[in-house]
Structure formats: structure tokens, C-alpha cells
Structure 1
Amino acid sequence: MQHTNPFDVGWVDPQLTPVLLAVIVLAVAGTTVLFCIGVVAYSRRRSTRYLLVTIALGLLVTRSLVGLGTVFGLVPMTVHHLVEHGVDVSIAVLILYAVYRSGPGTDQSRFETDGD
């Protein structure tokens, strides 16, 4: 697929293209910042739960980049949908597993002393 001008993409209303680009660029920037914060948190805690959340944040960056690539014609729409929905499922599984790993109970002192 060839690189295209996002203002010439047929599936986007030309009046909404600037808004779409702004939203996707902000999503890329925001998810990248969150991913970097996740990497720092994981490097400090070194626990499985922090790793799972950091991976989920990395998948959000990937998802945003795929959206940007689609607007510029670098990612076909079919691949876009496969990646985006696959990433959605992966993020849900990672977050639910991280919650599952946190274990039962509401004892606050356990969470303050537990490294995992």
C-alpha cells in the first residue's frame, strides 16, 4: 500500500480529517507517555503485575500507531481491524490476569508490603 495524504483518504470526511489526525496524534503521545511511566514503575517494582500492565500500555501504543498508519495509507483497513481488535482482547486478558494475580482479600497492609 502506498503512502497517501490523509486529506485524500476516501473513507474520511475531509472536514473531519484534521480532527481525526489530532486525536490520533494525541493518542500516540499520551499512550507513549503512559508506557514510559509503566516501564519506570516496572523497573522499580519488578513484579509480574507491573509487567503485565506495562505490556498492556505498550499494546495501547501499538494500537495508536496502527491507527496513524491507517490514516496515512500505510496499514490496510483489514489489517487495521485485525490488529486493533486483537490488541483489545490482549489488553483485556492482561489486565484481568493482573487483577487475578493480585489475589483475594482487602487487607490493605498486605498490599503495602507485598512486592508482587
Structure 2
Amino acid sequence: MTHWLPGRYGGVLLAVLALAALATTALFAVAAAAYARRRSRRYLLVAGVVGLLALRTLLGIGTVLDEVPMVVHHLVAHGIDLAAAVALLYAVYRAPAHRPGDL
């Protein structure tokens, strides 16, 4: 493991990251299937953001395994956070106005 992570936490962190990788990959598959069904830009945007989150988890695993330097991890991970937030706000901003009776 890496020098910044005490040995007793390495296994726990890898287990959590592995579960996160499985979950985000499954969510990406669902989002990609939804896009394939709907073929709209909004669904493509959602699938892209979920895909970025899956990549972010892989980046974390690479960092724990000392394959990705911590500086690169922070730059890329926080860049993904920014991209996801911008995409979410764009989707909300571009959504049609709420009509009475809509949920």
C-alpha cells in the first residue's frame, strides 16, 4: 500500500472502493441503457456523469495501489467533481418549467 495510508486501513479502503466501483459500474450500465432507450441529450448527459463517477472510483483504487500519484488523484478527482456539478446544474437549468400538477 501507499505511504500516506496506515496499513490497517488499506484493506478497508480497498473494500469500500471495490464496492463503490461495482455500484457505479452497475449504475452506469443502467444509465447507458436508459440513454439507448430514450436517445435524448439529457439521458446522454446523465450517463456521462455517472460514467465519470465510475472513473473517479477507479482513480481512487489506482491511488491506493500507488499507481496514481496523489497530486494527479486530487487534480483529476476534483476536476470530475466540478464537471459533474456543472453538468447537473446545466440539466436543471435546461429542464422545462414546472407545471401545476407535475410531481
TM (norm. structure 1) is 0.83
Cα RMSD of the aligned pairs, angstroms, is: 1.5
Equivalent position of 1:39 in the other structure: 32
**4+ residue segments displaced more than 6 Å:** none
Percent identity, aligned pairs only?
A: 50
Bigger relative contact order, structure 1 or 2 (CA pairs below 8 A, ≥6 apart): 1
Equivalent position of 1:90 in the other structure: 83
Residue 78 (1) aligns with residue 71 (2) = yes
Which structure is larger by alpha-carbon Rg, 1 or 2?
1
Equivalent position of 1:25 in the other structure: 18
Give CA-to-partner distance per residue, 1:81-109, whole Å, 9 cap, x none.
Answer: 00000000000011111111212123556
Aligned length: 103
The gaps in structure 2 that reach 5 residues or longer are none
Give CA-to-partner distance per residue, 1:20-75, whole Å, 9 cap, x none.
Answer: 00011111111000000000000111111111111000000110010000111111
TM (norm. structure 2) is 0.93
Equivalent position of 1:104 in the other structure: 97
